[in-house]
Amino acid sequence: MTQERRPRSPRNRRKRATPQQAPFLGLPYHRSQYLLMALGILFIGVGFVLLYLGDAVISTLALVLGYVVFIPVALWPWTSRRKHEGVPS
């Protein structure tokens, strides 16, 4: 006598443990955040060079983009603590 296996209903199914994502090279931020931070530093550097050369408008825009847009976005915590700590949501 063969027993047929009934498919498990979704409510009885156990959730698989997802592997915890390790930060990029053991550092506290992810790769995309470091790229945004580097882009912000690049904009800041270009802004100061343009300011030294006398271009007030484009240098101001580059400095504002670097300091106010790229660096804060790079430092913003993109993932929730629940994901990193492995706490089920």
Per-residue pLDDT band for 78 (boundaries 50, 70, 90) equals: confident
Residues 60 and 14: their CA atoms lie apart, in Å, by: 55
- Local confidence band at 27 (pLDDT 50, 70, 90 cut-offs): confident
Which pTM does this prediction carry? 0.61
Q: Is residue 44 part of a domain?
A: yes
| Number of domains composing the chain | 1
Does residue 57 fall inside a structural domain? yes
Containing domain of residue 50, as a range? 28-77
Q: Which two tokens stand for residue 64?
A: 């504002």
Residue 63 resides in a domain: yes
Residue 61 resides in a domain: yes
Residue 66 binned pLDDT confidence (cut-offs 50, 70, 90): very high
pLDDT at 39: 97
String of b and e for 56-86 (b: at least 16 CB within 10 Å)?
eeebeebbebbeeebbeebeeeeeeeeeeee
Residue 69 falls inside a structural domain: yes
